[in-house]
C-alpha cells in the first residue's frame, strides 16, 4: 500500500517540510530506514540517525530543529510517537477486509446473535446465546463458550479460548492463544493431606479498549467477577488470577503474575516478571520495576518500587550501592587470602 507525504500529513493533521509528493510503501525504524520507507523520530538520543537515514519520509515533532541537512521529507506533528501509532492503525484498517462473513466449518447456533459485518474465521466455535457486536473479527480456531458477550470492533486472534459466560467490551484486542476464564488455582487442604478442588462459579469482565497479549491467562472468579478495567494493556505470557481487579489504564509487561483477590489501582505500571502476592491492594499510579516481588499492600499513591521484596526505588538504589561495596570488599579479601 503506497502513500504520499501530503496524504500522510492530512491523516495525521500535520505539515509537510519537503516534497509533498514523496511516496512510501513500508515502515522502518529510524536506524534502518531505506528508500520507499517511512520512519519516525521522537527520542533525542536517536537524532544522529535523522541525518543518516535513507527513508523518504520521517515523522517528527513540530518542535524539532535540524542541526544538519536532512535528506528525507519531514512530516511535522504534535506528537511523533502517538502519530505513528495512529498511522499504523489507519494502514492496518485499510488492509483488513471482510472477504468472508463466515469461514468454513464454523460451529454456531440459532441463539447466537451477530452484529453487522462480523468476520468469523475457519474452524471457529461460537456457542449458544453468544452475542457478538458490529465489525468484530474472530479469526481461525477460536473458541467462544455459551453465554459470552463480545462487544463491537473487537479483534480475537487465532487460537484464543474464551470460556462460557465471559463479558468482553468494545474495541478489545485478544492475541493468539490467550485463555479467558479458566478456573483459578483454588484447592482446600483435607485432613489426609490431599486437596479438594474449589469450584469457580464467577466470570471475567473485560471492559472497553483493553489489549491482552499472546498466551496470557485471566482466570474467572470463585464468586463475582475478575475485572480488567477500561484501557488496561497486558503483555504476552502474563497471569491474572481469580477475583483480581485491575484499574483503568494500568499496563503490565511480559511474564507478570498477579495472585488471587488482589486489587490493582489505576494508571499503575508493572515491568517484566513482576510478581504480586494475593489479597493485597495497590494504590493508583504505582510503578514496579522488572522482577519486583510485591509481598504487601501499597497504600500511598505515586510511588515506585524495585527489588524482592519490593522497596521504594531510591531506597533500593542506596541498598544496592552498599551491596556492591561490600561485595567488592569481600572479593578483595578473598584474593588476599589466596
CATH number, domain containing residue 62: 3.40.1390.10
pLDDT at 160: 98
Q: Does residue 105 belong to any structural domain of this protein?
A: no
Backbone phi and psi for residue 30, each to the nearest 5 degrees, phi listed first: -60, -30
Task: Specify whether 238 is located in the same domain as 123.
Answer: yes
Q: H or E segment at 90?
A: helix 80-95
DSSP assigned state of 102:
B
Task: Specify whether 76 is located in the same domain as 216.
Answer: no
Q: Does residue 207 belong to any structural domain of this protein?
A: yes
Residue ranges, the chain, pLDDT below 70: 95-108, 328-329, 331-338
pLDDT at 331: 67
Task: Specify whether 7 is located in the same domain as 136.
Answer: no
Q: Does residue 139 belong to any structural domain of this protein?
A: yes
Task: Specify whether 122 is located in the same domain as 91.
Answer: no
Q: In angstroms, what CA-CA distances link 27 with 35, 59, 118, 231, 307?
A: 11, 11, 29, 26, 38
CATH code of the domain in which 194 resides: 2.160.10.10
Concatenated DSSP letters for 142-189? -EE-TT-EE-TT-EE-TT-EE-TT-EE-TT-EE-TT-EEEEPPS-EEE
Task: Specify whether 120 is located in the same domain as 244.
Answer: yes
Q: Does residue 79 belong to any structural domain of this protein?
A: yes
Q: Does residue 338 belong to any structural domain of this protein?
A: no
Select which of 200, 242, 267, 279 is catalytic: 242
Q: The whole model's pTM is what?
A: 0.80
Helices and strands: H and E segment counts in the chain: 4, 38
Task: Specify whether 49 is located in the same domain as 83.
Answer: yes
Domain that holds residue 45: 3-95
Task: Specify whether 76 is located in the same domain as 217.
Answer: no
Provide the number of structural domains found in the chain.
2
Task: Specify whether 66 is located in the same domain as 134.
Answer: no
pLDDT at 326: 78
Task: Specify whether 79 is located in the same domain as 120.
Answer: no
pLDDT at 288: 97
pLDDT at 14: 95
Q: Does residue 22 belong to any structural domain of this protein?
A: yes
Q: Does residue 185 belong to any structural domain of this protein?
A: yes
Q: Does residue 238 belong to any structural domain of this protein?
A: yes
pLDDT at 320: 79
Q: Calculate the CA dihedral of residues 245, 241, 313, 316 and round it to 10 degrees.
A: 150
Task: Specify whether 147 is located in the same domain as 57.
Answer: no
Task: Specify whether 166 is located in the same domain as 294.
Answer: yes
Task: Specify whether 297 is located in the same domain as 163.
Answer: yes
What digits encode the pLDDT tens for the residues 115-169?
999 999 989 999 999 999 999 999 999 999 999 999 999 999 999 999 999 999 9
- Residue 200 appears among annotated catalytic residues: no
Amino acid at each position: 500500500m503506497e502513500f504520499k507525504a501530503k496524504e500522510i500529513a492530512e491523516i495525521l493533521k500535520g505539515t509537510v517540510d519537503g516534497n509533498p509528493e514523496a511516496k512510501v510503501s513500508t515502515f522502518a525504524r529510524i536506524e534502518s530506514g531505506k528508500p520507499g520507507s517511512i520512519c519516525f523520530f521522537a527520542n533525542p538520543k536517536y537524532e544522529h540517525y535523522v541525518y543518516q537515514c535513507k527513508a523518504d519520509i520521517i515523522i517528527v515533532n513540530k518542535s524539532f530543529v535540524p542541526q544538519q541537512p536532512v535528506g528525507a521529507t519531514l512530516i511535522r506533528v504534535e506528537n511523533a510517537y502517538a502519530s505513528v501509532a495512529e498511522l499504523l492503525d489507519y494502514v492496518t484498517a485499510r488492509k483488513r477486509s471482510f472477504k468472508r462473513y463466515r469461514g468454513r466449518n464454523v460451529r454456531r447456533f440459532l441463539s447466537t446473535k451477530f452484529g453487522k459485518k462480523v468476520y468469523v474465521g475457519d474452524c471457529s466455535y461460537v456457542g449458544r446465546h453468544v452475542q457478538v457486536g458490529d465489525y468484530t473479527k474472530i479469526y481461525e480456531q477460536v473458541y467462544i463458550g455459551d453465554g459470552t458477550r463480545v462487544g463491537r470492533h473487537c479483534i480475537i486472534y487465532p487460537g484464543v479460548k474464551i470460556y462460557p459466560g465471559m463479558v468482553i467490551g468494545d474495541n478489545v484486542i485478544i492475541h493468539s492463544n490467550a485463555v479467558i476464564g479458566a478456573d483459578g488455582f483454588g484447592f482446600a487442604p483435607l485432613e489426609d493431606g490431599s486437596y479438594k478442588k474449589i469450584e469457580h462459579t464467577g466470570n471475567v469482565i473485560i471492559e472497553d479498549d483493553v489489549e491482552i497479549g499472546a498466551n496470557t491467562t485471566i482466570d474467572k472468579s470463585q464468586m463475582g467477577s475478575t475485572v480488567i478495567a477500561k484501557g488496561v494493556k497486558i503483555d504476552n505470557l502474563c497471569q491474572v488470577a481469580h477475583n483480581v481487579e485491575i484499574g483503568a489504564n494500568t499496563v503490565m509487561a511480559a511474564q507478570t503474575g498477579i495472585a488471587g483477590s488482589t486489587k490493582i489501582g489505576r494508571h499503575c505500571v508493572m515491568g517484566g516478571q513482576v510478581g504480586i502476592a494475593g489479597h493485597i491492594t495497590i494504590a493508583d499510579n504505582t510503578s514496579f520495576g522488572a522482577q519486583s516481588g510485591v509481598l504487601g499492600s501499597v497504600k500511598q499513591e505515586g510511588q515506585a518500587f524495585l527489588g524482592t521484596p519490593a522497596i521504594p526505588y531510591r531506597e533500593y538504589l542506596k541498598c544496592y550501592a552498599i551491596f556492591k561495596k561490600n561485595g567488592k570488599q569481600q572479593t578483595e579479601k578473598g584474593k588476599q587470602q589466596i
